[in-house]
Amino acid sequence: MSLHRRIYADLEGRILSGDLSPGDRIPFEHELTDRYGCSRMTVSKAISELAGRGLVTRRRRAGTFVAQPKAHAAVLAIPDLRAEVIERGQVYGYVLLVRIEREPEGTDEIELASSGRLLDLTCLHSADGAPLALEHRLIALGAAPQAIDVDFQTVPPGSWLLDSAPWTEAENRISAVAADARASRLLQLKPGAACLCVERRTWRDGQGVTRVWQTFPGERYDLVARFSSAHSPVLAKEPRR
């Protein structure tokens, strides 16, 4: 085994075993150079390969740190963020920021509300204390009237809708966006940082149920779908080591 592969394997083993946790700094390059008795170029090559696999992130002047695990979701599925975080063995966090019952405004909202009122919610999801998604959601009370009595201080609206308001049709729209001032503050990002925005609408028998915009830090979330050439799309989560 070449020396740079040995350095890579040693660091990879410490990361995957949990000896080095997400957010931990790995030894500085000069420390690894001394430890392995090699050139800085050899160490840099090993670290670059770790970064390429998404295991570490480099921060200028600060060092190299173990990356936060990325969340994964099937592009065509409707994910339950709470269930996904718990499934990965992480601690799920949720905060309701805004809850307003109001009349619809504009053509799109009037179409969603279908002569009823809207429940307007903004919330923040986290995994192991790190912000995962900023969510803005509209729920049509005509389609899901029981939502008005739900304590969304403790129950994430997406989880509740999947359990209590079945849908028959859905549309996902995924786009790359730059974090605005509010998103950067709540997601702990630099203004203008790259994010993924998932806009989703669901209907039940032609009646709108909900419309949601979920903004994810680009470095912490992957969207994955697996397809079969002979059948309808087969949805699957793909693990990232």
What digits encode the pLDDT tens for the residues 116-157?
Answer: 999 999 999 999 999 999 999 999 999 999 999 999 999 999
Positive or negative CA dihedral for 181, 187, 191, 196?
negative
The reported pTM is: 0.65
| Of 95 and 45, more confident | 95
Alpha-carbon span 122 to 144, nearest angstrom: 18
Among residues 109, 118, 115, which one has the least CA distance to residue 157?
118
Alpha-carbon span 152 to 94, nearest angstrom: 10
pLDDT confidence bin for 14, thresholds 50/70/90: very high
pLDDT confidence bin for 236, thresholds 50/70/90: very low
Alpha-carbon span 230 to 94, nearest angstrom: 40
Alpha-carbon span 143 to 209, nearest angstrom: 5
Alpha-carbon span 76 to 147, nearest angstrom: 25
Positive or negative CA dihedral for 75, 199, 165, 222?
positive
Dihedral angle, C-alpha 174, 178, 184, 188, nearest 10 °: 70
Share of the chain above pLDDT 70, in %: 88
Start-to-end C-alpha separation, the chain: 22
What pLDDT, in 10s, does the model give residues 181-233? 999 999 999 999 999 999 999 998 889 999 999 999 987 766 666 555 444 44
Domains of the chain: 3-66 (1.10.10.10), 71-224 (3.40.1410.10)
Helices 40-52 and 3-17 meet at what angle, rounded to 10? 40
**Phi, psi dihedral angles at 232 (to 5 degrees):** -65, 160
